[in-house]
Structure 1
């Protein structure tokens, strides 16, 4: 039997510190791969707790470890901000909640330590850079820092359209996303003699029309749309031979994304063959869909009930938004993982330059993550957690 821990009381006593942590992180945003000061601040906080800290010479982010040996339970937070226009000024801005996620993970660890908890194994905390570029999780996988993790938990604030303050879900079923860019090469000609040219705009139009005929399983959401098209110049009597385009692909499952990608490539190849054009396509950033482990999901569900009560447990939201957290489980299938979906009355929406949320959710989120760590170690050692 795991000794009961005064997590709620400890958090209540630390409430002012929780808000100070958030205020600092919120007012010091840094964009993807530029989070050097954020990394320094987080490393200092972790070292002050006596944790072992690993930073990297070639990139931002860090890993902190507490305890020894197996099993290993991980907590992950993203640390980067968006680059966007806020009141007419372009700047780094925490409008996706990463400042909140960092605060919640920091305070979950500090609360466990302040409560006297000793893990029967290792707690590994991943402060991951570059989530907004979809590259940070893959970088940490490449560095091998997740290879020994058995269970991994993350957190993401949810918009009010999904969940209200005081509510939470035990997983987030994010979809897969992919960007493609293409360059069309046709043949330039005089506008009076179009039969002598290959109009790159007409080729792009054929691609656009073809995308509208792409049909996948209607039971699994999937969509593709052209989001950028550039062609032609200032001389309007020239048949343009060059065009550039971009595509945004979304699918709710990884299998559906594979099918969608294959269909899109068929459309592009067909347009090239029909017009006799050359089309080069490059796959850009991509995110995989969620692969949620049911064991981790159940443990998170129990932690939510511990903190908020069964009446405030909500179903795991299904979101078309992407999240690179899921690369951990796709790249390392032995990791059992899920993300806490945290309700917080978030408005007007994620990525809005003036995103706001109920900050008391920071306390609930920190306690939930602290309790899921305790529950997971107890589960792995065949104990009951309280």
Structure 2
């Protein structure tokens, strides 16, 4: 009966605390800071964790906060991860950091999942670990936590992402998001300057750049696996009457599987080098960031699916979202074989879309997220401690 009472309270708490959730969300929204500069966000999270009453760790060489709730009972370590960085936008004539990807909502939900569990009388049979991770947007944040050993003791790791209306309606939730792999590449072109009246004496890097754009657009990949390659940044020249001798460019690659991405990278590198060198220019290109594709875990999805149905009702359950978007959360599963992970998709009525400076969503989704995550945490601890549902069934 005690467990049932705790579960009932967990189901009720988020709706009763909607005002608190909205206040936290708005405060974090106003603190928007770009990757690796989340200093004020770090401080806010530390103050909030002090109020909740759990220990935490920060790092002298980077942003990010790791909180630990451990009451000394032997058991597994369940992790909840939230990304904390915002995106840089040029908007209405100003350079701004804006939480246009929902990371303010993710922090709010993970932070108050902890509040909910503690206030509802839940006690972990093991350790609950909260990862407030920096720099998701650069693709480097998860890697930094991996290098610091943050997940070395983690058995189960959950995360969450608000979804745009194109993916699912408000009130629905999925037990997984199948992100694709995303790679950013940067390149340089070196030519020879000349007077614009004597172009034959120079090597025009803009000619090479134009050829590269066409070559990248023409790269062929497996038609059975969604993928794309396109030049998204280009810069060359400073004076109209001079043949420019230097250009830089950026390429965005997307593929639904990691294997398809490997093939796409090889094809793009060959195409760029051949096209760029056709007029005698020197070309270099290399990846600067990579987000790996999701590695689905059916057993974890089953547990989280149960949590969604219990927290919001059977009608709230939505199939996993398939998206070409990237997410560095999946680096954790790649780095630690055997780590059970999944990312919850949260329908939020979000529009006009992620990464838009005027992105907004129904704040009622905050209570839905807390209810799902808190319920999932209890199920993961029970899954590990129940002799009939050992960890092997998840891994």
TM-score band w.r.t. shorter chain: over 0.9
CA displacement, residues 31-68 of structure 1 (integer Å, 9 cap, x when unaligned): 22222222122122223333221111111111111124
SS of aligned partner of 1:374: helix
- Distance in 2 of aligned mates of 1:234 and 1:47: 56
Cα drift, residue 352 of structure 1: 1.7
2:163 alignment partner, SS class: strand
1:109 and 2:114 aligned: yes
SS at structure 2 position matched to 1:274: coil
Residue of structure 2 equivalent to 1:184: 189
Whether 2:121 is the aligned partner of 1:125: answer no
SS at structure 2 position matched to 1:92 = strand
Which residue is 1:346 aligned to? 350
Aligned twin of 2:393: none
Query: For the Cα contact (< 8 Å) 1:227–1:246, is it kept in 2?
Result: yes
Aligned pair count?
Answer: 384
Q: TM-score, normalised by structure 2?
A: 0.91
Deviations 1:246-287 (A, max 9, x none): 211111111111110000111122235533331122322222
Match of 2:364 in 1: 360
Judged with a 3 Å threshold, the aligned counterparts in structure 2 of structure 1 residues 316 and 11 are, in CA distance, closer, same or farther, namely same
Say whether the 8 Å CA contact 2:193–2:203 is kept in structure 1.
yes
> CA separation of 1:310/1:45 partners in 2, compared to 1, >3 Å: closer, same or farther?
same
Cα separation, 1, equivalents of 2:388 and 2:25? 33
Structure-2 residue corresponding to 1:244: 248
Which of the numbers 375, 378, 384 marks the counterpart of 1:374?
Answer: 378
1:147 alignment partner in structure 2: 152
> 2 CA distance for matches of 1:2 and 1:150?
26
Name the SS of the counterpart of 1:223 in structure 2: strand
- Contact 1:104/1:362 (CA < 8 Å) preserved in 2? yes
* CA distance, structure 2, for counterparts of residue 27 and residue 289 of structure 1: 31
* 2:257 is the counterpart of 1:253: yes
Deviation at 1:9, TM superposition (A): 2.1
Aligned to 1:302: 306
Q: Distance in 2 between matches of 1:319 and 1:76?
A: 20
* Alpha-carbon offset, residue 87 of structure 1: 4.4
Whether 1:75 and 2:80 are equivalent positions in the alignment is yes
Deviation larger for 253-262 or 43-52: 43-52
Structural RMSD (CA): 2.1
2:21 to 18, 22, 29: 18
Per the normalisation by structure 1, the TM-score is: 0.93
Moved more, 340-349 or 189-198: 189-198
Unaligned runs of 5+ in 1: none
**Which one of 291, 296, 308 corresponds to residue 292 of structure 1?**
296
- Which residue is 1:9 aligned to? 12
Q: How does 1:10-89 map to 2 (within 5 A)?
A: 10-67=13-70, 68=72, 69-89=74-94
Give 1:201-212 correspondences, 5 Å limit. Answer: 201-212=206-217
Q: Is the 8 A contact 1:2 1:378 kept in 2?
A: no
Q: Secondary structure at the match of 2:3?
A: coil
CA contact (8 A) 1:292 1:336 kept: no
Counterpart Cα distance in 1 of 2:136 and 2:2: 35
Structure 2 unmatched runs, 5+? 390-395
Measure how far apart 1:191 and its partner are. Answer: 5.0
Identify if the C-alpha distance between structure 1 residues 52 and 276 changes in structure 2 by more than 3 Å, giving closer, same or farther.
same
d(CA) in 2 for partners of 1:351, 1:212 = 24
Deviations 1:132-178 (A, max 9, x none): 22221111111101111111000110001111111001111111112
Shift of 1:2: 7.9
Structure 1 stretch displaced more, 146-155 or 311-320: 311-320
